[in-house]
A and B are shown apart, each in its own frame.
Chain A
Amino acid sequence: MIFAPLESALTRTATPELDPERVAIYRNNCRRALARALSISYAAIERLVGTAFFERAAYAFIDKCLPRSACLDDYGTSFAEFLERFEPARSIAWLADVARLEEALNRALHAADADALDLSQLAGLEEEGLARWCFTPHPSLTLLKLQYPADRIWQSVIERDEAAMAAVDLADGPVHLLVERDASDHPQVSRLEPIAWRFTRSLAAGTPLHVALEDEKRFHSPEVIAALEAVLAGHLAAGRFVACGRTEPI
């Protein structure tokens, strides 16, 4: 159905002798190219379900969803949602979460480059001054909360570690993940404690620091809040923020 525009464009103006074999060349080229793109972006999913099943899912996805861009690195962002509804995959409840993680890792790999925030901009600021600032995350940064331990599954598949795969506890969730491209250009995933994850997500959304801390002060002790300041320091040292700005006069 999704190729109706092509077939319509060709058959509307072509003669009845239009060779279906010829039209099939284009249809096959297109579907193969898109399936190849999905195979590259979702290599762990393909290893988990096998090539035959992956191709079946990929072609079913392609027939429902063509890309909006010729940059095929960006194709397939809704593949996880598709897998969740794909009847043949319904018994693999955690598969969609692994796809969500792979999508974030793929986005991290291709994200725009950006220099880390020059920490000398923050040096000398009084604590009260720093609190009024908000931060811009590195383009490769994504924060994911997933029901299943998709990071452990993904890691064991990528490392072809069957023992690790067997040891995965599917009840070990939800997990709070931070996905980024590290200084060596490798996509990485790490787990955060739920409070640190929520705080990081708030900062990454542009929430001013003092607001993000106030949100947590309502529920947690001063020691926990101090630990969040250390979380921020760690993010800044790791280059996870690329810009900052003052939100209101101090």
Chain B
Amino acid sequence: MNRRIAEPSHLIPAAAGIGWRFPHHERVLRDRPPIAWLEVHAENYFGGGPARRCLEAVRRDYPVSLHGVGLSLGSAEGLDSSHLQRLAALVREIQPGAVSEHLAWSVVGGRYLADLLPLPLTEEALEVVSRHVLQMQEALQRQILIENPSTYVQFPHSTIDEWDFLTALAGRTGCSILCDVNNIVVSASTHGWSPVTYLNGLPPAVIGEIHLAGHTVERTAEGRALRIDDHGSRVGPEVWALFGAAVRRFGPVPTLIEWDTDIPALEVLLNEAARATKILSGSDRADSA
């Protein structure tokens, strides 16, 4: 059986796309609305059947990016070879415009903890993650992007700032960085970093994609604000502002509106993408002039 899509891979444009989730599958496949590109979670398409066929169908008309969440690049026990093989098979079939994963771990003792867990930022961790990024790129025969995480704890024995860790990772492996601006805002708030310092610590030449998302602000028992990265709301004002700074620093970069929980109507996502497009083109500054 040959289900491979014959067209060459569609490169992801330096425009605003959206995360394509199950509630919008039918509408997008039926109406083919104008959307610059789409991103999906790779693990949702490891099987066959209708989900895979939807992805194949949408891939014929839109550039698609595969965003992995479960390969656990930070796990010292090594990558799950079955997971990597399934991802490689999906990449061969779909020929996505981009493939990305996270600076995180989620597997320990062969068990998957279903979240992106924080890494100590040490030379040892850098060596482990670099080795795994190289292994992943070899298996997929392509450069991948690594996303900065939202973290809620830090390790006191960490010796490297997160932005320097990502920069070093890109230097050692040739991978690109997926700059999640929302995650910078969340982590910076949690740990007392300056979001601008983080941004300025990333070399423009290695930024391949930007993510924008919403987060919630909760109050601790002591009344402190705690930002929780739930990707379940509109992009907030601080994130839009930092995105503007990111575009001025990095230039136009493929940008994704990421919304994973409490999925809204498609129009809401498209409106967010339209706002991102204005900032990418610089026309938002013309509006405010």
Task: Say whether A associates with B.
Answer: yes
Q: How far is the CB of B146 from chain A (nearest CB, A)?
A: 17
Encode B55-77 as 1/0 by CB contact (under 8 A) with A.
00000000000000111100000
Instruction: Evaluate contact between B50 and A71: CB separation under 8 angstroms.
Output: no
**8 Å CB interface, A61-119 against B:** 66-73, 108-115
Task: Report chain B residues within 8 Å CB of A73.
Answer: 44, 46-47
Q: Do B113 and A21 touch across chains, with their CB atoms under 8 A apart?
A: no
Contact of B47 among A33, A34, A111 (CB under 8 A): A111
We find that the number of chain A residues with CB closer than 8 angstroms to chain B is 41
Given A73-B46, A110-B51, A111-B48, A5-B108 contact (CB < 8 Å): yes
B202 CB, min distance to chain A CBs, angstroms: 25
Q: Known: A113-B1, A115-B1. Is A13-B155 also a contact (CB below 8 A)?
A: yes
Asked if B220 CB lies within 8 Å of chain A CBs, one says yes
Q: A6-B113, A71-B83 are in contact. Are A112 and B153 (CB under 8 A)?
A: no
Query: How many residue pairs between the two chains, A and B, have CB atoms under 8 Å in the bound complex?
Result: 112
Whether A110 contacts B153 by the Cβ 8 Å rule is no
Query: Which B residues between 172 and 201 are near A, CB-CB below 8 angstroms?
Result: 190
| B207 CB, min distance to chain A CBs, angstroms | 26
| Tally of B interface residues using CB under 8 Å | 43
A115 to B49, CA, bound (A): 12
A185 at the interface (CB under 8 A from B): yes
B106 within 8 Å of A by Cβ? Answer: yes
Q: For window 16-40 of chain A, which residues contact chain B by CB distance below 8 Å? A: 18-19, 21-23, 25-26, 29-30, 33-34, 37
B interface list, Cβ under 8 A from A: 1, 3, 43-44, 46-53, 69-72, 80, 82-83, 86, 106-115, 117-118, 120, 152-153, 155-157, 190, 220-221, 226, 228
13 cross-chain CB contacts under 8 A:
A2-B111, A3-B113, A9-B108, A10-B155, A30-B115, A66-B112, A67-B114, A71-B46, A73-B46, A109-B50, A110-B51, A111-B49, A113-B1
In addition to A5-B109, A69-B80, A69-B83, 17 A-B residue pairs with Cβ atoms within 8 Å of each other are A5-B111, A6-B108, A9-B117, A18-B153, A19-B153, A29-B115, A33-B114, A66-B112, A69-B70, A70-B83, A70-B107, A72-B43, A110-B51, A111-B49, A113-B1, A113-B3, A181-B49
